[in-house]
């Protein structure tokens, strides 16, 4: 990764952590789950409004480090209007991106669009759980669970 790209990625993550998008509860939600990352202390509640198999709306609340907040913020932005199957596929690619060597997950990065800013996280194993917490929580919510933990 070039320094320019790294800097751009850091800016995007900082922006989303300072001004998280879709950061609120949701009265119309028909799925929700609470996620906890004990290693870092991140907590997140993800709210989802699913109609048929389409994710109409996603929001989140919680408190955590900048990586977990930015990841939740960008996840909610990315998922609106997707089918639940597409959301699952996106999670699989995102997980691949943050756990694998980016040189081997170039396809994942290309398909993830803006979410590719988290590619650098793979160098910091502690941070992988921060970046994926919201996604694990979303998965639990979509599968009808109400709790998720990164452990
Ligand atoms: Zn964290």
Question: What domains, with CATH codes, occur in the chain?
Answer: 3-149 (3.90.1010.10)
Closest of 108, 104, 126, 128 to residue 116, by C-alpha: 108
Is residue 43 within 8 Å of residue 68, measured between CB atoms? no
Instruction: Say what the pLDDT of residue 27 is.
Output: 96
Closest of 86, 100, 89 to residue 131, by C-alpha: 100
Is residue 46 within 8 Å of residue 60, measured between CB atoms? yes
Which residues of the chain, if any, have pLDDT below 70? 1-2, 102-105
Distance between Cα 67 and ligand 1 center (Å): 6
Distance between Cα 20 and ligand 1 center (Å): 15
Distance between Cα 104 and ligand 1 center (Å): 25
Summarize pLDDT for 126-145 with one digit per residue, the tens.
Answer: 899 999 999 999 999 999 88
Distance between Cα 129 and ligand 1 center (Å): 7
């Amino acid at each position: 990764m070039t320094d320019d790209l790294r800097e751009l990625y850091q800016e995007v993550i900082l922006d989303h952590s300072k001004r998280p998008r879709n950061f609120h509860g949701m009265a119309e939600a028909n799925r929700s789950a609470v996620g906890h990352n004990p290693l870092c202390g991140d907590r997140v509640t993800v709210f989802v409004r699913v109609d048929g198999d389409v994710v109409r709306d996603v929001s989140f609340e919680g408190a955590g480090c900048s990586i977990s907040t930015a990841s939740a913020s960008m996840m909610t932005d990315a998922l609106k209007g997707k089918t639940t199957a597409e959301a699952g596929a996106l999670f699989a690619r995102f997980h691949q991106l943050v756990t694998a060597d980016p040189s081997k997950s170039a396809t994942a990065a290309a398909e993830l669009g803006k979410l590719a800013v988290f590619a650098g996280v793979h160098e910091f194993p502690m941070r992988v759980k921060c970046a994926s917490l919201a996604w694990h929580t979303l998965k639990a919510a979509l599968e009808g669970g109400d709790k998720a933990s990164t452990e």
